[in-house]
Structure 1
Amino acid sequence: MTKTVNPPVVDAAAVALATAHLLAATDGDLAGARRHVADGVQCWVNDVHLDGIEPYMEGLAQFSAALEPGGLRVVAALGDDRRAVILTEHMPVGAPSPFPSARTIELDADGRIVRERVVFFDTDM
C-alpha cells in the first residue's frame, strides 16, 4: 500500500511532526514514533486515558500491529508551531475499507507530543 498525504495540509511544525509520527507508527517504526513523544504525554483515545510514555507506547504498539504498513491516508491537517488537527483514515490488516479518525496534538517546548486526543469513528453507525 502506498503512503498518501493529500491536500489540504498546512506546512507547520506541529503538522509536520504529527504526520511523521503517524507515518512511523503506521509503518511499525515504534522507535521512530517514540522520538516524537514527551515522557509525560497525556493521551485520550475515545474514552481511554493514557498517562505517560509507557502506556502511550503500549497502546500505540497495539494500534500499529492492527494496521497495514503504509495504510495511512491524511485527509486534512492544519496547525501552527505547537498544535495540529489531523483527519486521517487507517487501513486495518485484512479490512475491506479504512476507518476514519480525528486527532488534536499539542507539542511541548522541545517540539514533542505532550497531549493528544483521538476519536475513532465507527463507520457502521
Structure 2
Amino acid sequence: MLTIIQQHHIKYLYEYKGMSLRAIAKETGHSFQTIKKYAHKEDPNPLPTPRKPKKSKIDEWLEEDQKMPPVSLRAVQHYVGQQKRDIYQESEEYLPLEHSPGRHRPIFAVLHIKMRKRSSRKDFF
C-alpha cells in the first residue's frame, strides 16, 4: 500500500500534469496496475482544483487604466495618505506609550561563587 503522499503524487501526475499511466509507472517505479488503481481511485480528500487566471478581469483593469490621465506616484501617495487620515481620524483611540525617564529602578543581581575554599562576588546590573 502506498502512502497518502505517494497516492496524491500519482493523482497529481495523472490529472494535472496529464501524464500517461505508463509514464507515471516508469517515473515512480511502481507497477502499472498500482498506478492505475491509485490514478482512478476516488479520494476522500481531493486535491484543490488549479486556479485559472482571471485574464478578462485583468484586461478590464488595464483598459480602464488606459483611459485615465497620467498621474505621478507621488500624487497618488499624497491622495491615499489624505484619505487614510480622514477615514481613521474619527476613531483615534489608543493608549499613549510614554514613560517618565529616571523613575524606574535598575535591576541588580549579586552572584556569590565558592570554589575550592575561595569565594568571589560578581555584581550584575
- Which TM-score bucket, shorter chain as reference? under 0.3
Higher relative contact order (CA 8 A, sep 6+): 1
Larger Rg: 2
Q: Report the TM-score when normalising by structure 1.
A: 0.20
Higher strand share: 1
